[in-house]
Chain A
């Protein structure tokens, strides 16, 4: 394993539900990332956090709300999602956001009904 864990691994939710995805890294890294991976599309960067501060929001709809309480934990709060938001959500971390190697978690497979 890469030292980055994600929970839950699978999630089914209705469009009116509120849920949260959790990511934890045990590598002592300072930067954390959320990516969305949809079928037949390139991996899409959603958010970047560096030392708990958000440094990138890649035009993500407000129904996705990230939270980074410390350098080891990253959350993605979900509310009023759409079926097209169904995807694999991947968390990653790196020592710093200097574009060096990123370490990925196993992902959360999300299905929005």
Chain B
């Protein structure tokens, strides 16, 4: 299985602090994506990083990818209460079927 697995399962921080979430996967990938889900809602795409990229930024988000370790991290800087959500990584597979495989997610709580 090439399932991504997020770590930690839950993270609670204070507003203004940085939040770091990690994702590990098992097989080679073409790209890795991070999604956010507010409670009971649909997922929202945050950022996609390709296998030949090592780092990518989008606003307060910074994603890194280490293909040698089969891992990625999502850093949210200067967190806000509105960042409270679950965060998922999703991986594809080179030569695989037409599907993304999602991890179980990290539940982030940002306390005001």
Residues of chain A at the chain B interface (Cβ within 8 Å): 2, 4, 6, 31, 40-43, 45, 48, 50, 55-56, 58, 88, 90, 92, 97-107, 109
Contact = CB atoms under 8 A, between A and B. Distances in A.
B25 interface: no
B48 A48 contact: no
Q: Tell me if B's interface is mostly helix, strand, loop or mixed.
A: loop
A50 to B, nearest CB: 7
B40 A42 contact: no
Interface of B: 3, 30-31, 33, 35, 40-45, 48, 88, 92, 97-105
B102 A99 contact: no
B91 to A, nearest CB: 9
Given A99-B30, A99-B31, A101-B45, A56 B99 contact: yes
B100 A104 contact: no
In the complex, which of the residues A40, A43, A105 has the most CB atoms of chain B within 10 Å of its own CB atom? A43
B43 A104 contact: yes
A101 B47 CA distance: 9
